[in-house]
Amino acid sequence: MGDLQSLSDLFQNKLFRIPDYQRGYAWKQSQLIDFWDDVMNLQEDRYHYTGLLSLKAVPKSESIGWGNDKWLLDSGFKAYHVVDGQQRLTTFSILMNEIVSFAKGLDINAEKNEDEVVICFQTLKSIRSKYISQKRPPQNIITTYLFGYEIDNPSAEYLTYKIYEEPHSGTINETYYTKNLKYAKEFFIDCLNKLFDSEGLDGIENLYRKLTLQLMFNIHEIEDDYDVFVAFETMNNRGKKLTNLELLKNRLIYLTTLYDDVQLDVIDKDELRKQINDAWKEVYYQLGRNQNAPLSDDEFLRAHWIMYFHYSRKKGDDYIKFLLNKFSAKNIFEKQVVAIDEEIPEVIEDEVDEDDDSIQNLENDIPIEISKLKPNEIRSYVNSLKDVAKYWFYTHFPEQSELTNEEKIWLERLNRIGIGYFRPIVTISLVPELNISPKDRVEFFKAVERFIFLSFRMAAFQSSYKSSDYYRKARALYMREIEISEVTKSLTETATYDMDYAIKNFITRIDKRFSNGDGFYGWRDLRYFLYEYEFEKALLTGIEKLGWKPFTKVEKDKVTIEHILPQTPTKWYWRNQFRQFDEEEIKTLSASLGNLLPLSQSVNSSLQNDSFEDKKSSNTKGRRGYEDGSHSEIEVSHHSEWNAKSILDRGMKMLRFLEKRWNVYFDNEEQMLELLHLEFVNDVREEVPELPLEIIAPGMVDITNGGSSVSTSDLQLDFWTNFVNYCAEIGRTDDIGSRKPLRQNWYDVSIGKTGYHVFLNIIGKSTLRIGLYIYSGEVFTKLEENKETIEQVCGFNLEWYTSRKTSVHKRVLYSTTTDLYDKSKYQESFNWLITHFDKLKEALDAVD
């Protein structure tokens, strides 16, 4: 073990660099919180052991490529690679930079230079010079940072320009790792502000002392290059275990150091190492390109292994063992005899046959010994990783690709349905060198999607069904041993061959779900099917009304797939509409495919018992009506009523869509009826008289004022129907009486204004209201400026400030009280609404 040193001791004439085989910054919120808590809880008279810091001194001869940083080495600084401990040193450097920036940014220091601001008897200039950066005198043009990444690391520029805030950055690529750097910076800015608010400058100074003097590292200098790579492969950084991709990069760079000069001279070693770095730089960029959804390192590495090497199920779970065994020191040191004129093959096989005739001595050739693992094999492998990474990303995020619109649509479908083990072969199909046309790709994507739908979504085969076959085809396609059309044909024929079994298995599975009471609603892939049914209609209109992410998002107490006929119908409308069916049949009807509707906007599950008329129309309960919803909702809203025949007809229509969309063929209509579980709908039944309104299910309101017991929505419809009829009698159908009466408590009236409209309102049993519904804050402000004039002209004072301050839309109201359920007072209420409407419109015309 080495010396125990504080950071003050550690940063004495040293230059620290993260070497090219290291990963980027991996700490996230939990590690940062632990680090901050450790420092905050550290007592002033105690030291905190921070762990082992493994360093490898970099000889001057190896720092030639350090460019503008070399001047500091010439002035007596010593260069070190950080082998273990980079996460902690990075965190310290970010925090120290933020402390300096925070102190400089205080109001009391606004007019001061860094050499005039003091913390703990040290100027900010001296702190920056010791822990962060120095400028090359005398011109101070070059800035050298004491801690950073080697240039080949994609985080190098980000740390310099975005974290240390060096000016003139230009375009900086962001990755998964740079996102972590950005978060750490923002985290410490927030922590410092809170610390200053609670403890003032004393708190900041105490933090600085703890960081520089009380955090102790056990310093271990590694002498041998071999030990460097061994140490890297075995270390863990505070719970952030190295990924297989990180291990493999380290291994490959290590292997470049083992070749003798005959096989790989110094120039070629440097070039091979650069190609490895370039490959990993590209891979990490692509995997972290979508910062909100970074892709898995190990998943990509395994997929590429499937593409590149011979797949066998025996090795299926041991891909990293295979790779680390393939790219191992023993394969460098083990020699085989080869003729000096023999061309080294670049095609990589997962096993090397030592008896291969192609490496036997040829007559008159001079034999030499070379490593079993050739440098070109490493080069070919890493360049393949680099080339494929972009297309792996495109399979996940096709909208960011240069593919045709139709290709993007089908890739999105594959992601929605669950692409599974097909992602490697789909990735390969995008590689330009294979010269696959967009048309052939689309046909291939269609075949993959159909295969998945039939085999896994209908038949529920095991998820590994045929995986070995298509993994092997993936490599064969990549190696140009087969054409994409052969794969497409195989997928189509296999799915068609399995179709009969798939349909029967699907019927059996759905039958079990009906037995459980869920029916089609319990089908795991219902959302995908309903979305595709909706998507076909969207393609015809060019208008997308249903987004996949909102549709699949599950919120507590909300639904995005509605049972049109509720699962447990309680309201009179539904009981009366399905009165000829018993409870078991109603339950079956509710769970059948034709009764399930994708909603463009999730609604509270409590609204599912609304009558069909209420569901069709938007209302004050916070739901958007079918008439204004998805294409599927609009289609359903064209029904004048919803009954058993409606459910059966729509179910059959959807199954015919299934047949057409996935080339599925049911035996006959009887088989389709069996799947829908609706054979009983066509039975001849005796006519059942309508149920009386007095039979009230839970959820109905009982108004006993000389009338029958009816629902609130029925009463609202009655009020507005009589209002519209009254308007017609007095000749007001062109303006206030022009709207169709609905089962809702409001009635909108357009008055020809672009920023607002008038609405009429009945609230509860006794409140009658007229108001303005204003679409934006700007329009509200304009009307508010004319408040006095408006109220003077209309003759009554309005309520201007009932809307929430955060609401974009605003309401201006005027109300009165009456008995809304007393029909004898209807005409009085109607006249009040019409009179106040006319006065309000006159006032608005006067100011607009």
Are 232 and 250 contained in the same domain?
Answer: no
Alpha carbons 416 and 532: distance in angstroms, whole number: 10
Candidate from 358-372, 729-743, 754-768 with smallest mean pLDDT? 358-372
- Final residue of a domain: which of 663, 682, 701? 682
Query: ∠590-596-599 over CA atoms, to 5°?
Result: 135
Q: What is the DSSP string of 643-673?
A: -HHHHHHHHHHHHHHHHHHHT---S-HHHHH
Predicted pLDDT of residue 312: 65
Are 33 and 111 contained in the same domain?
Answer: yes
Predicted pLDDT of residue 347: 28
pLDDT at 699 exceeding the cut of 60: no
- Whether residue 452 lies inside any domain: the answer is no
Are 20 and 86 contained in the same domain?
Answer: yes
Predicted pLDDT of residue 506: 95
Are 527 and 613 contained in the same domain?
Answer: yes
Are 572 and 543 contained in the same domain?
Answer: yes
Grade residue 227 by pLDDT with cuts at 50, 70 and 90.
low
- Whether residue 214 lies inside any domain: the answer is yes
- Whether residue 439 lies inside any domain: the answer is no
Are 288 and 213 contained in the same domain?
Answer: no
- Whether residue 727 lies inside any domain: the answer is yes
- Whether residue 756 lies inside any domain: the answer is yes
pLDDT at 353 exceeding the cut of 70: no
Q: Structure pTM?
A: 0.67
Query: Region 478-484: what's the mean pLDDT?
Result: 96
Are 88 and 165 contained in the same domain?
Answer: yes
- Whether residue 691 lies inside any domain: the answer is no
- Final residue of a domain: which of 644, 664, 682? 682
Domain that holds residue 326: 244-352+366-396
pLDDT at 829 exceeding the cut of 90: yes
What percent of the chain is modeled with pLDDT above 70? 87
pLDDT tens-place string over residues 102-146: 999 999 998 899 999 999 999 999 999 999 999 999 888 889 999
- Whether residue 487 lies inside any domain: the answer is no
Are 224 and 252 contained in the same domain?
Answer: no
Are 192 and 276 contained in the same domain?
Answer: no
Give me the number of domains the chain comprises: 4
Instruction: Please check whether residue 377 is in contact with residue 352, taking contact to mean a CB–CB distance below 8 angstroms.
Output: no
Predicted pLDDT of residue 439: 97
pLDDT tens-place string over residues 156-199: 888 988 999 888 767 777 776 788 999 999 999 999 999 999 99
Instruction: Please check whether residue 455 is in contact with residue 419, taking contact to mean a CB–CB distance below 8 angstroms.
Output: no
Predicted pLDDT of residue 345: 32
- Final residue of a domain: which of 630, 661, 682? 682
Are 219 and 317 contained in the same domain?
Answer: no
**Four-point Cα dihedral 838, 839, 841, 846, nearest 10:** 140
pLDDT tens-place string over residues 5-62: 999 999 999 999 988 777 778 888 999 999 999 899 888 778 888 888 888 888 877 7
Predicted pLDDT of residue 231: 59
Are 235 and 298 contained in the same domain?
Answer: no
Are 716 and 587 contained in the same domain?
Answer: no
Q: What is the DSSP string of 751-810?
A: -S-SSEEEEEEEETTTEEEEEEEES-HHHHHHHHHTHHHHHHHHSS--B---S-TT-SSE
What percent of the chain is modeled with pLDDT above 90? 48
Predicted pLDDT of residue 750: 86
pLDDT mean across residues, the chain: 84
Query: ∠492-497-498 over CA atoms, to 5°?
Result: 100
Q: Which residue has the higher pLDDT, 676 or 617?
A: 676
**Four-point Cα dihedral 30, 33, 37, 39, nearest 10:** 110
- Whether residue 489 lies inside any domain: the answer is no
Please give the distance of CA 278 from its chain centroid, rounded to a whole number.
27
First to last CA, the chain: 83
Predicted pLDDT of residue 237: 43
Query: Region 249-275: what's the mean pLDDT?
Result: 88
Predicted pLDDT of residue 702: 38
